[in-house]
């Protein structure tokens, strides 16, 4: 009788063999000494593997991991706050720009007629140059903030690749 | 409660902001995550780092986790991929097999010692297998994953997994035979 292949023996061990395969195995087990030895070897290995224990990490594993998680959550919160601040800043800037445009606009609409004189008075009081300086300063800060974000991202990526 | 429901309950606690839930999830999966990484990397320190990175990745992606899927297959896939990436970065000297120290105690019976010795031989033989082969055996025997679950974790078809698993066991048997042969030779 033809001996079983390794695949067939493993199917037997895994409990996935057909009835026909089981019968062939029984027959070979009774008659073929070499087959019996080989089957026993694989069967012992199979049993040993089933009894293999799972490895455990070091005692500090859990605490180190949770500490890392805590730090990353804190960083995430800080990032969220800084993002919110950035949006607030951009919003503020847009508002200021709009006011600036309104101040400089020589409008014809009825609405403008109502508050342009008042704005003109404000410009005269504060001074157009001063307003421009403040706007430049805020825009400069915004530009620096955007640059910092971009450079930081680039450096992080570059650092990881290294 | 079965493992699947237990995992889902912990995940829901995490999503609800329960601070202790992270620790519970880590406790449930740290050993097997570490074992997968260790089988692939053969280095305890690196395996711990990989397992920790995998947990961090999983925590970050937890909000996107589909709760109808099994957490363990989803998570062990992260561990498996992280370990394979670490293996690619690993220098040859780092993957040297770490020796397993036999711990003898007064309570050790001859049977226990024999079992322990056999276990050590298998651990050594496993360390000599390729990362792929060792992973197949680890997934199949240690956590008793089905072929379908192994397909989900490794992204390899179940037929290929079956072939790989058979081949891995055959190689393991051969390695053990060689190992035992060398030990017998050393005795004389």
* Of B47, B56, B119, Cβ closest to residue A69: B56
A68 in B contact zone (CB under 8 Å): yes
* Vertex A39: Cα angle to A36 and A42 (nearest 5): 150
pLDDT computed for residue B106 by the predictor: 47
Distance CA B55, CA A10 (A): 34
Enumerate the residues of chain A whose CB falls inside 8 A of the CB of residue B118. Answer: 48
Q: What are phi and psi of A40, to 5 degrees?
A: -60, -40
Neighbours of B88 (CB within 10 A): 8
Report the range of poorest mean pLDDT among A32-41, A115-124, B62-71, B113-122. A115-124
Enumerate the residues of chain A whose CB falls inside 8 A of the CB of residue B34. Answer: 55-57, 61
Give Cα separations from A111 to A122, B64, B112 (angstroms): 17, 50, 94
Mutation test of the interface with chain B: which of A65, A71, A79, A80, choosing the one with the most B Cβ atoms within 10 A? Answer: A65
Beta carbons of A65 and B55 less than 8 Å apart: yes
- Mean pLDDT across the stretch B123-152? 84
The answer to whether A69 touches A86, Cβ cutoff 8 Å, is: no
For the cut 80, the answer to whether the pLDDT of residue A147 exceeds it is yes
pLDDT computed for residue B81 by the predictor: 92
- Percent of residues, chain A, with pLDDT higher than 70: 80
- Mean pLDDT across the stretch A116-129? 67
| Residue range A59-104, pLDDT digits in tens | 999 999 999 998 888 877 777 777 777 778 778 877 877 777 776 6
The two structure tokens encoding residue B15: 């999503």
Write down the pTM of the prediction.
Answer: 0.67
Beta carbons of B34 and A6 less than 8 Å apart: no
* Vertex B65: Cα angle to B64 and B71 (nearest 5): 160
Among candidate residues B142, B144, B137, the one with its CA nearest the CA of residue B162: B137
pLDDT computed for residue B149 by the predictor: 87
- ipTM of this predicted structure: 0.75
B145 in A contact zone (CB under 8 Å): no
| Residue range B159-171, pLDDT digits in tens | 898 888 889 998 8
A60 in B contact zone (CB under 8 Å): no
Distance CA B67, CA A101 (A): 52
The answer to whether B144 touches B110, Cβ cutoff 8 Å, is: no
Kindly report the average pLDDT of chain B as a whole number.
83
The answer to whether A93 touches A139, Cβ cutoff 8 Å, is: yes
* Vertex B86: Cα angle to B96 and A55 (nearest 5): 60
Pick the more confident residue, A122 or B88: B88
Distance CA B47, CA B38 (A): 5
A49 in B contact zone (CB under 8 Å): yes
For the cut 50, the answer to whether the pLDDT of residue A140 exceeds it is yes
pLDDT computed for residue B49 by the predictor: 95
Q: What element of type H or E holds B176?
A: helix B158-187
Mutation test of the interface with chain B: which of A4, A6, A14, A49, choosing the one with the most B Cβ atoms within 10 A? Answer: A49
A27 min Cα distance to partner chain B (Å): 23
Enumerate the residues of chain A whose CB falls inside 8 A of the CB of residue B176. Answer: 45
A65 in B contact zone (CB under 8 Å): yes
For the cut 70, the answer to whether the pLDDT of residue B129 exceeds it is yes
For the cut 80, the answer to whether the pLDDT of residue B176 exceeds it is yes
Three-state secondary structure readout of chain A:
CCCCCHHHHHHHHCCCCCHHHHHHHHHHHHHCHHHHHHHHHHHHHHHHHHCCCCCCCCCCHHHHHHHHHHHHHHHHHHHHHHHHHHHHHHHHHHHHHHHHHHHHCCCCCHHHHHHHHHHHHHHHHHCHHHHHHHHHHHHHHHHHHHHHHHHHHHHHHHHHHC
A57 min Cα distance to partner chain B (Å): 6
């Amino acid at each position: 009788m033809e001996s079983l292949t390794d695949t067939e023996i493993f199917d037997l061990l895994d409990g996935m063999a057909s009835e026909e395969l089981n019968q062939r195995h029984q027959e070979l087990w009774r008659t073929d000494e070499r087959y019996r030895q080989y089957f026993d070897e694989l069967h012992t290995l199979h049993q040993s593997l089933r009894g293999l224990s799972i490895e455990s990490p070091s005692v500090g594993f859990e605490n180190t991991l949770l500490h890392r998680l805590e730090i990353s959550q804190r960083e995430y919160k800080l990032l969220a706050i800084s993002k919110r601040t950035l949006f607030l800043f951009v919003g503020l800037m847009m508002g200021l720009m709009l006011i600036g445009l309104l101040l400089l606009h020589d409008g014809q609409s009825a609405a403008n007629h109502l508050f342009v004189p008042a704005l003109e008075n404000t410009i005269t009081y504060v001074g157009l140059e001063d307003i421009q300086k403040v706007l430049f300063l805020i825009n400069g800060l915004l530009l620096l903030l955007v640059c910092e974000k971009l450079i930081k991202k680039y450096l992080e990526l570059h650092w990881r690749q290294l | 409660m079965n493992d699947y429901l237990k995992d889902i309950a912990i995940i829901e606690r995490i999503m609800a902001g329960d601070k202790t839930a992270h620790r519970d999830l880590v406790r449930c999966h740290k050993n097997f995550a570490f074992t997968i990484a260790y089988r692939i990397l053969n280095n305890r320190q690196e395996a711990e780092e990989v397992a920790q990175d995998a947990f961090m990745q999983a925590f970050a992606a937890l909000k996107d986790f589909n709760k109808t899927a099994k957490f363990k297959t989803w998570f062990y896939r992260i561990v498996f991929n992280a370990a394979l990436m670490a293996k690619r970065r690993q220098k040859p000297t780092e993957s040297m097999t770490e020796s397993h120290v036999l711990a003898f105690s007064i309570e050790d019976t001859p049977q226990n010692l024999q079992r322990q010795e056999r276990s050590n031989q298998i651990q050594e033989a496993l360390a000599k297998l390729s990362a792929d082969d060792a992973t197949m055996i680890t997934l199949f025997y240690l956590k008793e994953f089905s072929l379908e679950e192994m397909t989900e974790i490794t992204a390899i078809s179940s037929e290929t997994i079956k072939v790989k698993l058979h081949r891995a066991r055959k190689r393991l048997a051969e390695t053990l035979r060689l190992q035992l042969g060398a030990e017998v030779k050393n005795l004389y």
